[in-house]
Structure 1
Amino acid sequence: MRVVFLNSLEKKEDRKISCAAQVWIGEEDGIWRMGWNEVKDEEEQEHIWYEGVSWSEMLHVYRHRLVMKLSEGFRPVIEGIWDEKEDLHGRGMTAQKLVCYSELNGNEPLYLELCSWRRKKASSERKVPYLIASNRLLRLISVFCPQTMEELLQLPGFGENKAKEYGMELLEMTQVIERTTSFPLDWALLELDEETFRSWLYKQKEAKFRAEMEKFTTRRNVLEYINEGLCVEQIAIRAGIERREAVELLEDLEKDGYNTDHLIETELKEMPDGEQVAVWKAYEEMGDTFLKPVLQRVYGQEAAEGSNLEKLYERLRLIRIRYRRQRESVRSAG
């Protein structure tokens, strides 16, 4: 096997190396292999992270698995193992450090009270809870317990508009709490250990890269299912996703040059030709950016509010794939 990448890492405890490791990538006869060799207490263990033909898939696995190790405390002996160097004192890090501190030093009773308030507020205002306040913002409020509007506005993510809407209600909950800290919050930045913060940052990346890897894997599986001749319902079940997600993924695959026409033809067999023509004409007249106007044009306002809505939107998406493909072909020919 030809090794094309190798780097060493160390994990320290009390400033002494407690564990050493190497991450490596090799290639042989078109097969990529990637692994992690770890030495602890003079015993070496090898873990194969990836073996396959896809360089792109391997990179997704590499980023996710490596960032897990970095979040555990491993650090590269030689810079370059990562595609970016963390500037822990750079612009924008203050907000991240305050979020980190709040997550590591939680005030669970007040946090749960704030969550209960948000749930009731979302229900009464018919809003998604996140639009009222994110979990992170509620964590910040629960840990730092602002007592005035000025202090509330010092929290990352809490702006003037949110202060006008919910500031007084939040202060009613925090002002009854006896706190031992004060504003401004420079003291929190000083208390936060740099290595602890770095590991926390890597944990945030881990969640992000895990989601990206899962998305990549789902995409690859869906392509295999399409080649097997499965229908949308079967693809959704095998991939473990909602039917709507499967159709939206078909749109993404078409944008990237994959032909899904056979599957689309199968799915549209039950749709009357006249209905398909009406949708096509609506796209020509109204454009294909937004689906709702096309839905209302073809099916009317009453149908657009009916129980069959998901099925109608699915048909619109499938025909839009064909419409965009033909439009692109005309442009290329021109």
Structure 2
Amino acid sequence: MAIVFLNRMEIEREQEVGAAQVWIEESDGLWSSGWSELDAFEETDREIWYEGAVWNEMLAVYRHQLAAKLAEGYRPVIRDTFQEFLESGQRGRYTQKLVCYSELNADEELYKRLAVWRRAKATEEHRAPYLIATNRALRLVSTFLPQTIDELRELPGIGENTVQRYGEDLILQTSGMERKHAFPLDWVDRRLDEETFEAWTYKNKERKFKREAERVKATRLLLQASEGSGEEVVSLTQISQESGLERRELIEMMESLEKNGCNLDAIIAHELRLMPEQQQLAVREAYAETGDTFLKPVLKKVYGEELPSEPGLDILYEQLRMIRIRCRRESERLEALDRAQRQDANTAATEEPTQPEIVVVPNAAAKTKRRQETGA
């Protein structure tokens, strides 16, 4: 076993300093990473984070678990070792501090009222709620209580378009509320405890790297499942349980993998095995007629206006998306074939025709006459 990476970590507790080691090892092409608690420089507990042959997956798991330890309060003895973790938080530091402060100090009652307002506005305008305002934006408003449009503009993540369309509505929600702070918000940098901010930063990194690790693992499982056949194919439900991703996210990944040239038809066939062929054909015909950009027109064309409630509706949408993957792959195959045929035709048309070689062969009578004239 070769040690590829090893670093000592420490954490300050009430009356002592705890120590541990984070490590990466390799043996015969197999990678392992983990965490070891230390007692007087001796290992007392060895926690395995990853064992396997996929470097990218090992690295994703390592980042996630390391971020979790940093969020707990562990710090590397040599801080330069983890520049990715310790310095990336410096970018946009002021903005991040405002966001951190808002998540820790928001007026929850006001936040709930803002969420109700957003939902009503989204219904009125037939838009997704996050296009009206993100959760982060609502928390910033419910924490810093802007009373004017100019104050609203100071909050990060609230662009000019949002200010123009919804600024007056947002100010109306906060008007008249008592606040104990002032704008500008530079006081946040002084009031927010550095340790609190650092722990919040690492907690966010933990969530981010957890998602990355789940996606890396899910990609491997999808590609492995695509190589199976018949009953050997692993279902999306099994992949979801093992990777931690929802089925909807897995299908989105399948769409992306297919665009990159991966053939996942084995998984699609397994998931559609209970869907009648006639129904699949009807969906294909609907795509051909309405296009494949939007799913709802296809859904209504195949199943009518009265659609089932969840979870039945979710299953129908999953089936539509998987059939769409097949339709797009078939369309791309036909387009590629058509391009190849046109290219061959153009090549044949531009090539210069070869001139046939003309060979003159004298006939027998001419040969005899020449012999007589020469006396041969």
TM-score (norm 1): 0.79
Alignment of 1:46-195 (within 5 A): 46-78=46-78, 79-83=80-84, 85-86=86-87, 89-90=90-91, 92-195=92-195
2:250 is equivalent to residue 249 of structure 1: no
CA-based RMSD:
3.9
SS at match of 2:84: coil
Shift of 1:104: 1.6
2:329 matched residue in structure 1: 321
The alpha-carbon distance between structure 1 residues 191 and 87, as it changes in their structure 2 partners (threshold 3 A), is: farther
Shift of 1:215: 1.7
CA distance in 2, matches of 1:295, 1:192: 47
Q: Deviations over 1:108-152 (max 9, x none)?
A: 222222222222222222222211111111111111111111111
Determine what percentage of the aligned residue pairs are the same residue.
42
1:25 matched residue in structure 2: 24
Shift of 1:192: 1.5
Shift of 1:72: 1.5
Task: Report if aligned partners of 2:226, 2:267 keep a CA contact under 8 Å in 1.
Answer: yes
Task: Report if aligned partners of 2:225, 2:266 keep a CA contact under 8 Å in 1.
Answer: no
Q: What letter corresponds to residue 87 of structure 2 in structure 1?
A: E
The alpha-carbon distance between structure 1 residues 123 and 277, as it changes in their structure 2 partners (threshold 3 A), is: closer
CA distance in 1, matches of 2:283, 2:110: 55
Q: What letter corresponds to residue 183 of structure 2 in structure 1?
A: F
Shift of 1:258: 3.6
Structure 1, unpaired ranges of 5+: 284-289
SS at match of 1:81: helix
Task: Report if aligned partners of 1:5, 1:26 keep a CA contact under 8 Å in 2.
Answer: yes
Deviates more, 1:308-317 or 1:186-195: 308-317
Task: Report if aligned partners of 1:67, 1:203 keep a CA contact under 8 Å in 2.
Answer: yes
SS at match of 2:123: helix
Q: Deviations over 1:70-92 (max 9, x none)?
A: 112222222123536516554x2
SS at match of 1:4: strand
Structure 2, unpaired ranges of 5+: 308-312, 344-376
CA distance in 2, matches of 1:332, 1:4: 49
Q: What letter corresponds to residue 129 of structure 2 in structure 1?
A: P
Alignment of 1:242-321 (within 5 A): 246-261=250-265, 270=277, 291-292=292-293, 310=317, 311=319, 313-321=321-329
CA distance in 1, matches of 2:202, 2:118: 29
SS at match of 1:36: strand
Shift of 1:212: 1.5
Q: Deviations over 1:232-259 (max 9, x none)?
A: x972232237766555433433445544
